[in-house]
Amino acid sequence: MNTIINDIEVLKAKTTKINEVDFDNLKFGSVFSDHMLECNFKNGKWQAPKVVPYGPITLDPSAKIFHYGQSIFEGMKAYKDAEENVWLFRPLDNFKRLNISAKRLAIPELPESYFMDGLKALLEVDKDWIPKKDGSSLYIRPFVFASGNGFHASPATEYKFIIATAPSGSYFSGEVKVLIEEKYSRSANGGVGYAKAGGNYAGQFYPTQLAIEKGYQQVIWTDDNTHEYIEEAGAMNIFVRINDTLITGPTSDRILDGITRKSIIELAKSEGIAVDVRKITVTEVVEAAKNGTLKEMFGAGTAAVISPISGFGYKDQDYTLPKLDDTFASYLKKRITDIQTNKAEDPFGWRFKV
């Protein structure tokens, strides 16, 4: 049946898969809700978005996404509170970042209403898919890719914007040990590191596999020029705590401007925690680990939330972080998730009611 929600056409799925899902044991991003938002760019403009049943899409083998990797995405979460209200966290920031990525990848930028109203319509139709259990949420994946055809190495003339959602539990299942990278690079000045481009992730898979073989879960990327500055992890920005100061590197051409990162900086400062946004050298982190002043390291991101790092490897040497009772990571994680899930006041105006 076709219905209209806020001028977005909705084509309902004939059946639901929701009864097959074990909401108490959700993995990350592996089951998908009944519907998706679909919007096509053709004849020089974005066409009206529609909510349609979630399912496969057909592409021509010459579609430029397959050959030239014109593809960008976002990561967001929807939360449901005890009164069944649905909340997003700083969604306009995701919209703006999608268009920053679009510009860099020569993809046509999206109108704000297509993103926001499309997302609201999708969440309205699939609201039963938003988990209520603590630590679970509906992970939202907006993405745009070149669906237009041709082997010519130039931007496509047709694109698809899709939002798919997946009820999800935590991103990491156990402890996170990281390897500080000395050889490979994720990004370079003038490159696409600041964009959420699919190829940024593909390029990380091989070095990350090598790290996993050595017993680590993630790579910490260092700058491509000297490998002396800590930049970010595969899917997270990085914070280190030396004594009682929280330090994170400044964003640049090479680093994704994480929404969790900037929220943590603001939140921590407002709670009286000393925060330094400055370049962090591998040498100082190794020295701090050796002399006991390195208290914590954690990753921050939408999927990973705040994920404590238990230790790191560098130049064939392993360093273990202390196991503290009260960590900035657990304090800030509780504060930010309480704000996200409407369990605490939101003095920053970050929470967005759907």
- Does residue number 303 form part of the binding site for ligand COI (CB under 6 A)? yes
How many residues touch ligand PLP (CB under 6 A)? Answer: 12
Which helix H or strand E contains 11, and what residues bound it? Answer: strand 8-11
- Measured from the CB atom, the residue of 51 and 236 that comes closer to ligand PLP is 236
- Does residue number 181 form part of the binding site for ligand PLP (CB under 6 A)? no
- Does residue number 91 form part of the binding site for ligand PLP (CB under 6 A)? no
**Residues in Cβ contact with 166 at an 8 Å cutoff, skipping those fewer than 6 apart:** 28, 29, 30, 31, 32, 33, 138, 139, 141
Half-sphere exposure of 200 (CA within 13 A, CB side): 27
For residue 169, the minimal CB distance to ligand COI (Å) is 13
- Measured from the CB atom, the residue of 302 and 340 that comes closer to ligand PLP is 302
Q: CA-CA distances (angstroms) from residue 255 to 9, 110, 217, 249? A: 37, 23, 20, 9
- Does residue number 217 form part of the binding site for ligand PLP (CB under 6 A)? no
CA pair distance 350, 221, nearest whole angstrom: 29
β-pairing, 274-277 with 351-353? unpaired
**Residue in this structure with the two tokens 């657990």, named with its chain if needed:** 330
- Does residue number 235 form part of the binding site for ligand COI (CB under 6 A)? yes
For residue 218, the minimal CB distance to ligand COI (Å) is 11
Determine contact, residues 173/62, Cβ cutoff 8 Å: no
CA pair distance 112, 32, nearest whole angstrom: 25
- Does residue number 75 form part of the binding site for ligand COI (CB under 6 A)? yes
Sequence-ordered alpha helix ranges (H) in 1-90 = 64-68
- Does residue number 236 form part of the binding site for ligand PLP (CB under 6 A)? yes
How many residues touch ligand COI (CB under 6 A)? Answer: 6
- Measured from the CB atom, the residue of 23 and 201 that comes closer to ligand COI is 201
Residues of this chain, 70-89, that bind ligand PLP according to CB under 6 A: 75
- Does residue number 302 form part of the binding site for ligand COI (CB under 6 A)? yes
Stretch of residues binding ligand COI (CB under 6 A), selected from 45-53, 286-294, 299-307, 334-342: 299-307
Evaluated on CA atoms 263, 269, 275, 279, the torsion sign reads positive
Q: Which does 256 bind (CB under 5 to 8 A by kind): ligand PLP, ligand COI, none?
A: ligand PLP
- Does residue number 192 form part of the binding site for ligand PLP (CB under 6 A)? no
Residues that bind ligand PLP (CB under 6 A): 75, 232, 235-237, 256, 258-261, 301-302
Residues that bind ligand COI (CB under 6 A): 75, 201, 235, 301-303
